Amino acid sequence: MSLVDAAGATAESTFQNVPIIDLANIKSADPDIRRKLAGEIRDACMKVGFFYVSNHGISEDLTSGALEAAKEFFALPLEKKMEIHNKKTSNFKGYSPVLSGNNDPNGAGDMQEGFEFGWEAPWTYDDFSQSEDDAGGAMAGANIWPTDVPYFREQALGYYHAAVILGKSLFPLFALALDLKEDFFDDKTQHSAALMKFLHYPPQAGPVDERVIGIGAHTDWECFTILWQEPGIHALQVLNSENKWIDAPPIDGTLVINLGDQFARWTNDVFKSTVHRAINRSGVRRYSIPLFFGTDYSVRLEPIVSCISPERPPKYDIITAGEYVKSRLQATYNH
Ligand SMILES: O=C(O)CCC(=O)C(=O)O
Ligand SMILES: [Fe+2]
């Protein structure tokens, strides 16, 4: 079935849960096995826009190192954190205090604080070759790091580089899922427009103002997000087409992958960029680590030919990935 026909066939359906996809065969030498895996991803992308991945290859050590760094940073006094406030930088990197961001235009601020950074060359992986800069995107330019937490940068970048490797290995599967050649995204992802964020959600007790929740209802902006959630704490919810919030709790040994608006634009909405939100009613602090993976900022988000037809004309104006991300950053942080 063509992509456009398959999208039409799933348009009326909705989902009640988020599927789990096993990535054990991601590097299989057998193209049929890779294609089968891509088929599972295609199904999840068209029906849900969210899936969990198991056997994703990111070690527990890297994850716990990053988590410890994040916890120590957020425990610093506010004045210390404000020294690297993201409003002091032109590229939106650095610290965002509680309520400084607002992802849902109908909301009144997100009940979370964050720290965001982007690509920086690793010094421990000799085989990791990558250009440092990226054609002037909104988030291009140096990262800004806290100086009060020992090994913060190392711990953060250790997890980041492992997640970037995972992200790069997913692009060929997304390409296969879209009936494209596996290398379709290679020349569009040369500069790793990959932004990672440490998030800290204070607990919200008692009656919660629906306009001030951990992160208000939103879609992500890049191609896809690789999300680590703290085990044991339910907070993330995904909106289905019946406007029902479906829980996406942490599942041991998995990460969440969700599609963002760049993929919706590439695929003319054949792949779904699904609305989601998080509310921390657990009574304890919650941490999460999204890594937003886009194409290079200079790449034009043109619909893939197999995703348009006379019945499904292009839905979006063509802009570059960088223009799109910048417009969303400005709306969220009011810069
Ligand atoms: O913390 C979470 O579970 C979700 C975070 C999220 O949706 C985002 O940062 O875009
Ligand atoms: Fe999100």
Gap between the Cα atoms of 190 and 168, Å rounded: 10
Task: Write down the pLDDT at residue 13.
Answer: 81
Task: Write down the pLDDT at residue 135.
Answer: 42
Residue 290 Cβ inside 6 Å of ligand 1? The answer reads: yes
* pTM as predicted: 0.94
Give the closest residue (by CA) to ligand 1 atom 8: 290
Residue 236 Cβ inside 6 Å of ligand 1? The answer reads: yes
Task: Write down the pLDDT at residue 138.
Answer: 58
Atom of ligand 1 nearest to the CA of 288: 1
Residue 289 Cβ inside 6 Å of ligand 1? The answer reads: no
Task: Write down the pLDDT at residue 225.
Answer: 98
Task: Write down the pLDDT at residue 6.
Answer: 87
Atom of ligand 1 nearest to the CA of 286: 1
Gap between the Cα atoms of 54 and 163, Å rounded: 13
Task: Write down the pLDDT at residue 133.
Answer: 44
Residue 229 Cβ inside 6 Å of ligand 1? The answer reads: yes
Residue 219 Cβ inside 6 Å of ligand 1? The answer reads: no
User: Which one of 236, 275, 280 would you pick to mutate in the ligand 1 pocket, going by the greatest count of ligand atoms within 8 A of its CB?
Assistant: 236
Give the closest residue (by CA) to ligand 1 atom 9: 290
Residue 215 Cβ inside 6 Å of ligand 1? The answer reads: yes
Gap between the Cα atoms of 93 and 145, Å rounded: 9
Per-residue pLDDT tens listing for the chain (335 residues): 888 988 888 877 889 999 999 999 999 999 999 999 999 999 999 999 999 999 999 999 999 999 999 999 999 999 999 999 998 887 889 999 999 888 888 888 999 999 999 988 765 444 444 444 444 455 667 899 999 999 999 999 999 999 999 999 999 999 999 999 999 999 999 887 899 999 999 999 888 888 999 999 999 999 999 999 999 999 999 999 999 999 999 999 999 999 999 999 999 999 999 999 999 999 999 999 999 999 999 999 999 999 999 999 999 999 999 999 888 888 887 75
Tokens of 20: 């789990």
The predicted complex's ipTM stands at 0.99
CA of 33 to the centre of ligand 1 (A): 31
> Kind of pairing, strands 276-278 and 236-239?
antiparallel
Atom of ligand 1 nearest to the CA of 197: 9
User: Which one of 256, 288, 292 would you pick to mutate in the ligand 1 pocket, going by the greatest count of ligand atoms within 8 A of its CB?
Assistant: 288
Atom of ligand 1 nearest to the CA of 201: 1
CA of 238 to the centre of ligand 2 (A): 10
CA of 218 to the centre of ligand 2 (A): 6
